[in-house]
Amino acid sequence: MDRQRARAELHIGSRGDPSPATLFFILNLDDRMAQIRLTEGTLTCACGRLEQDEAFEIDTPNLAFSILRPATTRSTSTKPADTTVVSVRDGEGEVTVVHRLYIHPRETGTFAGIDQLDAHSELRP
């Protein structure tokens, strides 16, 4: 792959190696949309370019996380599928549950529960 022309990268596990504890599915992948379902485990995504009419979304059992502008993010979903942790290193993302919550650079959001969601965010140094 020509990394200079790449639009997104997906790393699984701490070294990019597939981990048996990570379960994900690509739901939609075309020129305008990348939609991934993360059931459990951790995904690190680097989205280098995102045009106005394009979308990059990671769905977990309790939320949908959309990258709003080029970003490097990390999403972790735990088993039994009731907690999702989303970290944005740079860029910006949006978590959609009942309403929208924005995750800004160097912020981490933790979302627990399915029927009644408890949300907590923190700024990392």
Which residue(s) pair with 120 in the sheet?
110
Of the listed ranges 20-34, 61-75, 107-121, the least confidently predicted one is 107-121
Which domains are present in the chain?
Answer: 8-115 (2.60.120.1440)
Confidence of residue 113 (pLDDT cuts 50, 70, 90): confident
On whether the CB atoms of residues 64 and 94 are closer than 8 A, the answer is: no
pLDDT greater than 80 at residue 18 = no
Highest average pLDDT, of 25-29, 96-100, 113-117, comes from 25-29
Q: For the full predicted model, state whether its pTM sits above 0.75.
A: yes
Q: How does residue 19 score in pLDDT terms, banded at 50, 70 and 90?
A: low
Which residues partner with 1 through β-bridges?
none
